[in-house]
Amino acid sequence: MNIVRDKKIIAYKNRQTKKFAFNLRRLISEAVMYEWSRLGDKQKNKSTVEYINIENKRNDLYKTLDASICLCPGCNQTDKDMYYNATAEVWFCTQCVQEYRDFYIKEFSKNEKDLFYESFL
């Protein structure tokens, strides 16, 4: 893992745009999780091969949602300003980013490295 410094923050200034974007993120997240659950129900009483194929689809859905701007993988919120972590290739909310930064500064000495937490600096 190499640190990639490509900082992007999505923060809506207009109240109506923000409300629309957050509602859209919530709807997409709920639709994905509904499909994820539906596929889980389909796994019951399936052969091992069918079960694994469905599980792979569920994993793809979950990973895609987790990496999207729709929801923060740190807190699962859909109504936050978002920050793109190019190293992890994942969007996090700005609140979680600050918590990861604070944790890194508090927990790691100058000699210790943790690339995941360092990628938020």
| Site residues for Zn ion per CB under 5 A | 72, 74-75, 93, 96
Cβ-based nearer residue to Zn ion, 9 or 52: 9
Cβ-based nearer residue to Zn ion, 70 or 93: 93
User: Coil, strand, or helix at residue 35?
Assistant: helix
Task: For 38-60, give the DSSP string.
Answer: HHHHHTTT--HHHHHHHHHHHHH
Cβ-based nearer residue to Zn ion, 68 or 74: 74
Identify which of 82, 86, 84 has the alpha carbon closest to the alpha carbon of residue 1: 86
To Zn ion, the closest distance from the beta carbon of 92 in angstroms equals 6
Which token pair is 5? 């410094």
To Zn ion, the closest distance from the beta carbon of 57 in angstroms equals 26
To Zn ion, the closest distance from the beta carbon of 95 in angstroms equals 5
